[in-house]
Structure 1
Amino acid sequence: MRVLFTVWPAAAHLYPSVPLAWALQAAGHEVCVASRPALADAVGGVGLSAAALVDEAELPRSVGASNPASEESRRTLERITEAMAVGRDDPVGFHVWRCHRDYAVPAVDDLQPIGADPAAPQPVLDALVAFCRDWRPDLVLWDPTTPVGAVAARVVGAAQARFLWGLDHIGWSMDRFARRKRELGGALKDEDPIVEAVRPMAERYGFELDDELLRGQWTVDPMPAGMRLPTDGRVVPMSWVPYTGSGVLPDWLHASSGRPRVALTLGASMRAFGKDSKPLIADLLEALGAMDVEVVATLNAAQLDGIAHLPGNVRAVDYIPLTQLLPTCSAVIHHGGYGTVCAAAAAGVPQIVAIDGDNVMEGPVSGHYLTGAGAGLLLRHEESSVADIRAMTSRLLADPSFRAGAAALRSDLLGAPGPAEVVPVLERLTAHHRAVD
């Protein structure tokens, strides 16, 4: 069969799908990845075929996951936030909704403007439908921030499902919003932003909006079972096999210094979308520099700008695949991105999630789960001194319970079927859901 992945144009969204795409190809299926032209080289770099849809210059506007929404959109989201009734007494729900509101909704809006005119051209959707009409996929696996995949699949009669790249913020938030709307009745007149994005896509191609277009016919979820959010709909679990890029093994990687090695990384997404992290980086380096550890910091020149000198026990490298680095480490300090969380879980390494404030995407949610699992700690930079950071890192390295918690998280991650085992499930589901010509 032919399988099309639709991916939001960022490596953090592409990489989680790579092991499943390879497994599908190894089973004899054709695979293609559709996204913006900006992602085409990355798709080719992981050995997959790319379909480049619409360039930035062809879009009527580009909001972007890191750019501000319109004033009208902000007011709507403020009203919805109040109606959701998710407060700080619900540490998971509070931050899941914030991540959905501040990242997922703008990301959807970037590719498919919320509240678009169904009669007007919708560049990304129209380009994807045109490609699907030519390529004729049997199955479309779509990133939750690219619901264009669900509509295009229906146009050509393909089966379609969501493929998660992290926790299901969108599904959880849609469920919560629907419950609150039922509870509040006519008092809540705003509509779910995702519904307002998908409805004009459906109407443009003559479809009634339904649950399958919003949630997929099923969802492939690679997150560890203990971290999954409770949502409605059918879920096909899959173990997360980390793919973090490739490269030549450096000669120093497996040489032992006789000291514990600590990885420090803030992820590619923080380089692209994160706020200024230099104060956090400076304090982390100062804290680690005074410890009897070896530090490998995957920080680029921009992140190190203003650092007068690196401590003698710190090796800074612009990039090294985490799948190479983490198995050599005793601990990792990072921003809480799901790709990093799962790469560290697969390596069985205790983790510290270091965040600056609340508006840091998925960091607080990851930190909460890791703390609860006994596999790590959450470091709130605004509440912590350099001495606090040093004490937290020392505790993580010295207390064997964190290593045991990390091992349990690894077992949880590996407990689901691997990508190759999921392929026959996708074949059966595709045969059931695909429209018969």
Structure 2
Amino acid sequence: MRVLFAGLPEKSHVYTMVPLAWALTAAGHEVLMANAPSLTEVVTGAGLVAAPVGSDHDLHRDMAVARDSQDADVANWSHLGYGDIDHAGLVARYRISVPYGFARYNDPILDDLVALARDWRPDLVVRDPIAYAGGIAARACGAAHARLLWCADVYGQARATFVELARDMPEEQRVDPLADWIDERGRPYGVRCDEELLNGQFTLDTLPPSLRPASDLRTVSVRYIPYNGRAVREQWLREEPKRPRVCVTLGRTNTEAYGGDYVAVPDILRSLSRLDAEIVAALLPEQTDRLGELPANVRAVSGVALSTLLPSCAAVVHHGGWGTFSTALVNAVPQLALSTLVADQELRGRSLEEAGAGFFLHHSESDPDRVADLARRLLDDPSHAAAARRLRDESAAMPSPYDIVPDLADLVAGD
């Protein structure tokens, strides 16, 4: 079987795809990772075959200028279930999200991706949930087509809501900006938009079922396997911590794409240092450079893979990103997310809070003393650790990427 991965042109999204790509390769299938040229070294660094397509997007330039866009209503996809929004609200959302988000990610790679798919002839295309170019390419070459989620399936949920609400609208009001864009971009290849193209023939979901939004889509559960790129198990991580270890990490995206962090890291570290704990700030070099002198129980490190650090931690304070959230989840680490509202981050944070395995705070509420108080509660109240273990066990019961490879082959053969 030939499998073409069509990722969103963002490093963290490619990282989510790597374990499944490894599993397919190890099982003897041919794998090609298509993405914008800037992601080529990320793919080859993972030991996979890269296929650069099209050109790089320029979204990061605008993101850094419009930092507040992460908290705009249109960026928050956490409240789009049936009954949460009306038809006009979803139309308005698509009217903004398509040209300013989806199209700017997809248009630069689409034509070259279709040409690659028609030349290489994959049996299966696995794409990012908003890499709609992958769906067009799959349809254009006759391949089966699946989505691999890096989020709770808020995009599928929003689409289901839209379809349900549109049924009750007069014909003249059934506008669909998302379908119109897909039709326009797919027309040269004989591709028209339909719900299967938007949602895939099946969805690969790594969230434990108890944390997922309701969905009628065909779903294949697969365990999340952390991949952080280059990883070294440092000498100090081989030693048992003498006090509970709390990791503070803010990921890459806010610094690299949005021009900086949304919380006062030095102030938070000083407040956390009052806990009877070892604080490890796993940050980018440009973040650690701004910390100044640190309290004795605070260690700042750069380049430490979370998959090597979090197994030794009793709690983690982070920015709400998917990789950090999921790596903490599969390691049973209670979490405090200091997040923006972009994509599904509020939904995931609230779901984790409802499960008892952590807390969610909007970054504007992240007063250092409040952060320290919530971190103390994560350490002192054993119910949070117990809830985190329940979610870890739920995740561990899901099949691994390697386990589902035969199922993928069967699904492709059946389609």
> Is TM more than 0.5 here?
yes
Aligned mate of 1:385, from 359, 367, 386: 367
Unaligned runs of 5+ in 1: 57-61, 69-73, 114-122
User: C-alpha separation between the residues in 2 aligned to 1:161 and 1:391?
Assistant: 43
Aligned mate of 2:180, from 182, 196, 203: 196
1:107 Cα offset (Å): 4.0
Mapped pair 1:240 → 2:224: yes
Q: Give the aligned partner of residue 112 of structure 1.
A: 106
User: C-alpha separation between the residues in 2 aligned to 1:157 and 1:380?
Assistant: 44
1:400 Cα offset (Å): 0.5
Q: Give the aligned partner of residue 9 of structure 2.
A: 9
Q: Give the aligned partner of residue 351 of structure 1.
A: 335
User: C-alpha separation between the residues in 1 aligned to 2:257 and 2:93?
Assistant: 13
Mapped pair 1:158 → 2:143: yes
Q: Give the aligned partner of residue 258 of structure 1.
A: 242
Cα distance change, pair 282–330 in 1 and its aligned pair in 2 (3 A): same
Q: Give the aligned partner of residue 62 of structure 2.
A: 67
Cα distance change, pair 381–21 in 1 and its aligned pair in 2 (3 A): closer
Q: What one-letter code is carried by the residue in structure 2 that aligns with 1:251?
A: Q
User: C-alpha separation between the residues in 1 aligned to 2:92 and 2:301?
Assistant: 32
Aligned mate of 1:374, from 350, 356, 363: 356
Q: Give the aligned partner of residue 31 of structure 1.
A: 31
Unaligned runs of 5+ in 2: 64-68
Contact conserved, 1:336 with 1:362, CA < 8 A, in 2?
Answer: no
Q: Kindly provide the CA deviation profile for residues 224-243 of structure 1, in whole angstroms up to 9, marking residues without a partner as x.
A: 11121223321111111111
1:314 Cα offset (Å): 1.4
Instruction: Give the match's secondary structure for 2:264.
Output: helix
Percent identity of equivalent pairs:
38
Instruction: Give the match's secondary structure for 1:342.
Output: helix
Cα distance change, pair 258–111 in 1 and its aligned pair in 2 (3 A): closer
User: C-alpha separation between the residues in 2 aligned to 1:101 and 1:244?
Assistant: 34
Q: What one-letter code is carried by the residue in structure 2 that aligns with 1:373?
A: A
Q: CA RMSD in A?
A: 3.1
Q: What one-letter code is carried by the residue in structure 2 that aligns with 1:20?
A: L
1:67 Cα offset (Å): 3.0
Q: What one-letter code is carried by the residue in structure 2 that aligns with 1:23?
A: A
Q: Kindly provide the CA deviation profile for residues 323-348 of structure 1, in whole angstroms up to 9, marking residues without a partner as x.
A: 10000111111111122111111111
Matched ranges for 1:260-275 at <5 A: 260-274=244-258
Q: Give the aligned partner of residue 398 of structure 2.
A: 416
Cα distance change, pair 381–24 in 1 and its aligned pair in 2 (3 A): closer
Aligned positions, number? 402
Aligned mate of 1:311, from 295, 299, 311: 295
1:410 Cα offset (Å): 0.5
Contact conserved, 1:174 with 1:192, CA < 8 A, in 2?
Answer: no
Q: Give the aligned partner of residue 283 of structure 2.
A: 299
TM-score, normalization by structure 1: 0.83
Mapped pair 1:425 → 2:407: yes
**Divergent runs of 4+, >6 A:** 96-105
Contact conserved, 1:374 with 1:405, CA < 8 A, in 2?
Answer: yes
Mapped pair 1:224 → 2:219: no
Q: Give the aligned partner of residue 144 of structure 1.
A: 129
Q: Which stretch of structure 1 is more off in the superposition, 169-178 or 305-314?
A: 305-314
User: C-alpha separation between the residues in 1 aligned to 2:163 and 2:16?
Assistant: 29
TM-score, normalization by structure 2: 0.88
Q: Give the aligned partner of residue 178 of structure 1.
A: 163
Q: Kindly provide the CA deviation profile for residues 380-400 of structure 1, in whole angstroms up to 9, marking residues without a partner as x.
A: 443353322221111110110
1:276 Cα offset (Å): 3.6
Cα distance change, pair 311–361 in 1 and its aligned pair in 2 (3 A): farther
Cα distance change, pair 266–35 in 1 and its aligned pair in 2 (3 A): same
Q: Which stretch of structure 1 is more off in the superposition, 28-37 or 290-299?
A: 290-299
Contact conserved, 2:288 with 2:300, CA < 8 A, in 1?
Answer: no
Cα distance change, pair 49–398 in 1 and its aligned pair in 2 (3 A): same
